[in-house]
Amino acid sequence: MSFYVDTCIYLNLWQGEEREEVKFWRIAEEFFKRCDAEKSTIIYSGFVRKELQRIAPDAFARNKLIFTDSRFNKITASSEDYSAARVLESASNFSIGFFDCMHIVLTIKAGAILVTRDRALIEFAVQRCRVARPEELK
């Protein structure tokens, strides 16, 4: 099984995010442990890395070596992927950002499941690819 993991899941883990009684960091940690135990592949892109560097530069610097792990595979966007993401961005009436549209396109290209917690992204992506929150993938 392959998973394209959205930026927010890494942030949940690296920033120890929780809300009320829900420990999002623990859910993310358990998801990555399950992936490791099941020998699942984690797909990432330069878009994920750029978002992490921009949003949480210190956390990214401390954790960027995770992407060198053998279970992590980088996917590269082609010019066709950029065009497809622009089409999706327009189809969403620009309510979904370009990077999120690239995440959808690259998820489809990889034949993976998009793992995110972003409600708007889930609602838009569900008609285009498999998408789930980490806790839904047990």
Per-residue pLDDT tens for 75-105? 999 999 999 999 999 999 999 999 999 999 9
The confidence score (pLDDT) of residue 10 equals 98
- pLDDT at position 138 over 80: no
Quote the pTM value.
Answer: 0.95
Q: 115 is in which domain, residue-wise?
A: 2-136
CATH number at residue 59: 3.40.50.1010
Per-residue pLDDT tens for 27-60? 999 999 999 999 999 999 999 999 999 999 999 9
Q: Are 19 and 129 in contact (CB under 8 A)?
A: no
Number of domains in the chain: 1
Q: List, as one string, the DSSP characters of 65-101.
A: GGGGSTTEEEE---HHHHHHHHHHHHHTTT-S-HHHH
Q: Residue 43 and residue 64: Cα distance in Å, rounded?
A: 14
